[in-house]
Amino acid sequence: MAVLTCADIQLDDLQALLTKFNLEIHTVADQQDIPGSWFGDSEAGIIKNRLYIRMDTPVHSALHESCHYICMDDQRRQQLDTNAAGDYDEENGVCFLQILLADYIPGFNRQRMLSDMDEWGYTFRLGSSRAWFEQDAEDAQAWLIKHKLIDIHNQPLWALRY
């Protein structure tokens, strides 16, 4: 199964979600390089509060880069250009949060995010993103709660890490 791309959703829905975090979507023409993309190709890019995508950018990639922005402290956000440079705990928090935020995009959801993450090649100790999320992500959840990004019921608090 192919991963869901930005062409498969309404970008206004993605922008409405990301506006809650002061993120702006900037689209790039087909075949053009995506500014701020760490992995290149169709992967989303991020520079300060600007998320760069093409229509072939996977939705999971757009959310992953957005969650890096949400999960980093303000000093790093002000300097952000391509490399989020987070540590292991932050990376796990980013992955957990992107799964939660998938439910807020019509036409996408948590189950599709987990499937797309596996299809794209995210790797977790238990062999799948679902197994990690359901059985092995307590540390990521605790990190997000500690930084006041989600509550104990896994509900986003619509805030940036400070």
- For the chain, the structural domain boundaries read 1-149
Burial environment of residue 38 by CB neighbours within 10 A (0 to 12, 13 to 18, 19 or more): middle
The closest of 33, 69, 27 to 52, measured between CA atoms, is: 27
The closest of 64, 35, 60 to 48, measured between CA atoms, is: 35
**Tokens in use for 81?**
């250009």
In sequence order, which residues have a C-beta less than 8 Å from that of residue 123 and are 6 or more positions away?
none
> Has residue 124 got a pLDDT over 90?
no
Residue 79: the pLDDT is 96
What pLDDT, in 10s, does the model give residues 12-40? 999 999 999 999 999 999 999 999 999 89
> How would you classify the pairing of strands 24-27 and 50-53?
parallel
> Has residue 1 got a pLDDT over 80?
no
β-bridge mates for residue 51, sequence order: 25, 46
Residue 125: the pLDDT is 83
